[in-house]
Amino acid sequence: MNTKQTILKTAASTIKLESKAIDHLAELLTEDFADAVELIYNSKGRVIITGIGKSAIIANKIVATLNSTGTPAVFMHAADAIHGDLGLILQDDVVICISKSGNTPEIKVLVPLIKNANNKMIAITGNIDSFLGQQADFILNAFVAQEACPNNLAPTTSTTAQLVIGDALAVCLLELRGFSSKDFAKYHPGGALGKRLYLRVNDLSSQNQKPQVGLEASLKEVIVEITEKMLGVTAVVENDKIVGIITDGDLRRMLSKSDDLTALKAKDIMSNNPRRILEDAMAVDAKEVMEEFGISQLLVEHDGKYCGVVHLHDLIKEGII
């Protein structure tokens, strides 16, 4: 077997092993999971998530997921906690402690301190009979039969299991809170994903110039308007209403067909009934219309009146495409 085949076989084996372990987690769920979700949901405080080693990295990821889905969370490293960071935990906070073995020295020191402060504690552990499992108020079983590591040592399958349980917690809390796409956009205003959820057509078209000509505009006036406004298009407008559109392509086609250009008017060149979109529509809706009809610009309307143009380049610039 060559090297590439060996690599692919190992990769496939790893994925299948971890997938099987994740699937088994569903069978390990107990009422403790539901009770833990309800505890966090009803809490007036935050969720403090702690761990050591690779579990600490997983804790950081779960913190990020909870924060982005409406549940305030803070990471506390288990080693730092017993050297001063224990002050992070406030009276109403719920603590989640992550540990595969549940018996590490740091955990054995930290857990009694948390219990003494009367904070409720949730354990995510692969050993429910461990010190952590015995001391926790609620146990979320993250047991895995085998690490993907061929020596069964490096945390691989076990950390994947911890992460999946954290995702399950976050999704359950998200649903209980009725967390919507608008809420998600509020917490992700700077990213492309957030922009898909809150950016509207007017946010883009208002930054562009507003090319327009009347029905009787000459060919020269049309060319000048398209050139000056730099959007490759102009609306043909009558009484503030869109009656047509002229694009660069329309001009080229007309010029190739006509021998006498002097008498051409906008009404002779324009395309009737152009695609248009309301200014308060979502920018992602504009993207879908452009993709569906293979066009680069959309005329924008408000209350039946022409108010601008949104261009494909606007969507690319904002990361919508």
CA-CA distances (angstroms) from residue 295 to 173, 197, 274?
Answer: 41, 22, 11
Q: How far apart are the first and last CA of the chain?
A: 43
> What is the rounded distance in angstroms from the CA atom of residue 258 to the CA atom of residue 264?
9
- ∠ Cα 90 92 93 (to 5°): 65
Contacts 24+ apart (CB under 8 A), 75-79: 75/48, 75/49, 75/50, 76/48, 76/49, 76/50, 77/50, 77/51, 77/52, 78/50, 78/51, 78/52, 78/104, 78/106, 78/107, 78/110, 79/52, 79/106
* Residue 77 marked as a ligand binder: yes
Tokens at 108, concatenated = 């054995």
- Give the position of tokens 């010029």: 255
Length of the chain: 321
C-alpha count within 13 angstroms, C-beta hemisphere, residue 171: 6
- Give the position of tokens 């954290």: 166
Burial 279-289 (b: 16+ CB within 10 A, else e): bebbbbebbee
- Numbered residues of the known binding site: 77
- Numbered residues of the known binding site for Zn(2+): 77
